[in-house]
Structure 1
Amino acid sequence: IIMVSEAYAFHEPNLKSRPQDFGEIVRARFRIGGLLSAGDYLQAQRCRQWSKREFAEALRKVDFFVTPTMTQPAPAFEGYDPNTTLMGRSFTAPFNVTGLPAISVPCGFTEAGLPVGMQIAGKPFDEPGVIQAAYTYQQHARWYEQRPAI
């Protein structure tokens, strides 16, 4: 709600005067923001603030969150539909909405040889710590050096 509301507010003049400058999917998603009310936006901001407080509380006990980056491996390009495939596939949203620094690094492959990512997220403004944690992991795991058989 926050992203599409803000995107629509920013891009509204161009969406109306030059819609062809936007891809079909981006144009459709941004226009959703024009259908939302100020109340929707404010409620989403309240939820965002609640989420930030909850994550801040959890980060008093741990240095980082480590999660999969995606809910499942990448889909095959053939038959790929971004209108349905992108929705709900990522564990990045909580860190996007709270503004916490996060990075994704390779952490292996599926049985089919598709890459799998691990996300490391940290405390507010601790980008150096997140990058150092990712670097340390990469130096030990060395997944970035491996390539699946094709």
Structure 2
Amino acid sequence: SLIVQVESAASFRPLIRSGKISELSDPLGQISGYLNEQYSAADYGQALKVREILQRKMDRIFESFDVLVAPSQPVPATPLTLNLETGLAFPDPLGAIGNLCGLPALSVPCGFTEKNLPIGLGFVAGAGDDIAAIQAARTFQQHTDWHRRHPKIH
């Protein structure tokens, strides 16, 4: 999101200004700081207004639900050989909204794919309610043994 991009540019400003950003191993990381500095204060202000609207909507959801439970990622774990720059482009609406709104979340194991790759189950709670996410995940683990299982490695 624009907010994350602008805030990351602010956080990495000394690295950007010194030119040491070019030493990062990630090619996108080498240029993204410069790009993220190009957003205007008006763009950032508008994005903050949108975030506030989303935060209020999420607050309303958590008036009815203690925790949201969903797959940790919209895709199962990927093989180590996957090109991370091209292979991990997928929508993650719950993760994006959670990051933008500052919602506590955690993931625990809940199974394996037919290729023996791990699958995670995510627990997301309302802003400031870290304990609810932790308690829900702990309860899940008390009733399952996925966190004790390990895939067969060939």
Shorter-chain TM-score bucket reads 0.7 to 0.9
- SS for the counterpart of 2:143 is helix
Output the amino acid matched with 1:51.
Answer: L
Change (3 A) 1:79 1:120: closer
Q: Which is worse superposed, 107-116 or 71-80?
A: 71-80
Return the match for 1:31 from 30, 34, 51: 34
Gaps of 5+ in 1: none
- 1:36 shift after superposition: 1.7
> Match for residue 9 of structure 2?
8
**Are residue 128 (structure 1) and residue 131 (structure 2) matched?**
yes
Gaps of 5+ in 2: none
Rounded to whole Å, the distance in 1 between the matches of 2:150 and 2:102 is 32
Return the match for 1:74 from 42, 63, 77: 77
TM-score, normalised relative to structure 1: 0.88
Rounded to whole Å, the distance in 1 between the matches of 2:22 and 2:4 is 21
- 1:21 shift after superposition: 4.1
Rounded to whole Å, the distance in 2 between the matches of 1:54 and 1:108 is 32
Q: Which is worse superposed, 84-93 or 7-16?
A: 84-93
CA displacement 1:68-96 (0-9 Å, x = unmatched): 111111222224132x3344354422111
Rounded to whole Å, the distance in 1 between the matches of 2:6 and 2:122 is 27
Aligned pairs for 1:105-144 (under 5 A) are 105-144=108-147
Stretches of 4+ aligned residues off by more than 4 angstroms: none
Change (3 A) 1:81 1:103: closer
Change (3 A) 1:73 1:31: farther
Query: Retained in 1: the 8 A contact 2:54–2:101?
Result: yes
Output the amino acid matched with 1:88.
Answer: F
Query: Retained in 2: the 8 A contact 1:65–1:121?
Result: yes
Backbone CA RMSD of aligned residues: 1.8
TM-score, normalised relative to structure 2: 0.86
Percent identical among aligned pairs is: 33
**Are residue 47 (structure 1) and residue 50 (structure 2) matched?**
yes
Output the amino acid matched with 1:117.
Answer: G
Return the match for 2:97 from 77, 94, 98: 94
Return the match for 1:59 from 32, 53, 62: 62
- SS for the counterpart of 1:67 is strand
CA displacement 1:41-61 (0-9 Å, x = unmatched): 122211111111111111111
